[in-house]
Amino acid sequence: MLPLKDRPGWRASGEISLLTRPAWEQTLDHLARSDEETCHLELSAVTFVDVAGVSALAMTAQGLPQGRRIVLEEPPATLRRVLDMFWPGLLSVEVMGR
């Protein structure tokens, strides 16, 4: 995970799975503790996100104070489908692209 230079947020690449989940959850924790109203997760280079990774994202988003949101940029299609299936109407997450 690398911080974005031009906006608040992080860039991820590769897979988000059992082996990389600690780094993913640490990034989500940083995001949740941020004072930024909108944080971006640039995911165009992510090839796979397991259900536990999507769950960690959803739990982080649900714990954000009202008015804060996470913008997912170019996430894998499966991430969007899992969010829609298990967390429909999660207003603190906006998906851009794909």
Tens-digit pLDDT profile for residues 39-59: 999 999 999 999 999 999 999
Position 98 scores a pLDDT of 61
**Does this model's pTM top 0.95?**
no
Token pair belonging to 62: 């649900």
pLDDT tens, residue order, the chain (98 aa): 889 999 999 999 999 999 999 999 999 999 999 989 999 999 999 999 999 999 999 999 999 999 999 999 999 999 999 999 999 989 899 998 86
Q: What is the distance of C-alpha 48 from the center of its chain?
A: 13
Instruction: Look at residues 85, 68, 31 and name the one whose alpha carbon lies nearest to residue 43.
Output: 31
